[in-house]
Amino acid sequence: MAKADKAGGKTERPKPDGPAGKLVAIGEHVTQQIREGESPTIELTVRSLSNVVYDEDTQKLGVGDKTSERSFFNVAHAKKFLQTLEVAAIAKSLLDIGKHASLRDVFYMAKRTIPHTKVNVVDEQTESDKAIEDLEILTGSTREQLNINANKMGSVAGNVVIEDAGDMIDWSKLGSGGWSIPSNVESITFRKVSAKYVLYMEKAAVWERLHEDKFWLKQNCIIMSSQGQSTRGVRRLLQRLSTEHKLPIYVLTDNDPWGIYIYSVLKYGSISLAHMSDELAISDVRYLGVTSDDVERYKLERHYIKLTDKDLARLEQMANYDWFKDHAEWQRQFKLMKKAGAKVEIQSLSSRGITFISDVYLPEKIRKQEFID
């Protein structure tokens, strides 16, 4: 907090631009209130589900206009107010020295005892995580732009050359492993992008299958995966390829509610990060498979796995989301899955031969443009 006050208090100094400048503005706002004898107060957009709205025009989740005030001289707010400013000071110091920290690091950096008390600024990581979300709203910057990273996961290969941290990296020349996607992709520069589309899949094992079959070379595309739900590094990388290079993103997941939700998060944004949809949601995402129709066409019924009660509840929930409930094709898919009472994994295609997915399934579906939008 000391650092933020100091930076905010001296208006004659040249002000930093970008996220750092916005952090300084928060400090200035607070110190101004103090000088004028007012109770230091910040105004925040409400982030609970009640304020998450689906915008039909942009096709993205977003936050509504409900706001709440947080005041230092309100016993119920004082600690959260302090936490937000403490984390703002930490983010500012990270930006100043050009270093990045993980969410867990920020927790430990904020976990100091307030002098002359036995009270810690934060006791649990959820508290510093919430404060970071506050800052995302207050500054309009993603936490990655505040030099705070989530976890790193995922691999990529394809006809692309990037520049990152002073290195030129050719995604087509990285052997069987590919490039390991960092948690933060804000500072990479695309030097050459000759691929025609991006194929994103939820499973690392499927990525290795396609990579071994040189799918990206034959199809002139980019193949990318994380494992399970996409990391933020992956989402931003996909989003940058979509907006900066106009590449369509095709998503390949299991035919189950969880796989379809991976697609949903990529396209519409996620409920918990609705305030960041502009930076993270990608309108030009298309669902490639696996669909209920594929199950019939490629005779995968014998690989059906019975839906659990949890799967069924999730399916029901998905069918009622604002962005799915009037979508005829998705409603049809949900109905077919419910009728079958079963899900199917991507890898069941291996029963047709190990390279069936690369040689037949994907080229056929992409040629026929069999997507769900």
Q: Which residues form the catalytic set?
A: 108
User: Which residues 302-321 are close enough to bind a copy of itself by CB under 8 A?
Assistant: 302-303
Does 229 sit near a copy of itself (CB under 8 A)? no
- Helices vs. strands in the chain: H and E counts, helices first: 16, 17
* Minimum CB distance to a copy of itself, residue 76 (Å): 27
Neighbours of 63 (CB within 10 A): 18
Single out the residue of 180, 220, 243, 317 in contact with a copy of itself (rule: CB under 8 A).
180
Single out the residue of 128, 183, 230, 292 in contact with a copy of itself (rule: CB under 8 A).
183
267 near 238, Cβ under 8 Å? no
Task: Convert 47-64 into a string of H (helix), E (strand) and C (coil).
Answer: CCHHHEEEECCCCEEEEC
* Minimum CB distance to a copy of itself, residue 283 (Å): 26
Helix (H, G, I), strand (E, B) or coil at 106: helix
User: Which residues 200-219 are close enough to bind a copy of itself by CB under 8 A?
Assistant: 204-205, 207-209, 212-213
* Minimum CB distance to a copy of itself, residue 71 (Å): 29
CA-to-CA distance for 138 and 43, rounded, in angstroms? 8
Report the residue number, 151 or 320, with the smaller CB distance to a copy of itself.
151
Does 49 sit near a copy of itself (CB under 8 A)? no
CA-to-CA distance for 344 and 348, rounded, in angstroms? 7
- In order of 62, 194, 205, 313, the CA distances from 319 in angstroms are 19, 37, 29, 10
Does 359 sit near a copy of itself (CB under 8 A)? no
Region from 133-141, 282-290, 326-334, 351-359 binding a copy of itself, contact rule CB under 8 A: 351-359
Supply the DSSP string of 311-358, one letter for each residue: HHHHHHHHHTSHHHHT-HHHHHHHHHHHHHTEEB-GGGGGGG-TTHII
Site string for a copy of itself, 100-129 (x = CB under 8 A): xxx-xx-xxx-xxx----------------
Residues found near a copy of itself in the complex (CB under 8 A)? 94, 97, 99-102, 104-105, 107-109, 111-113, 149, 151-156, 162-169, 173-184, 187-188, 204-205, 207-209, 212-213, 227, 302-303, 345, 347-351, 354-355
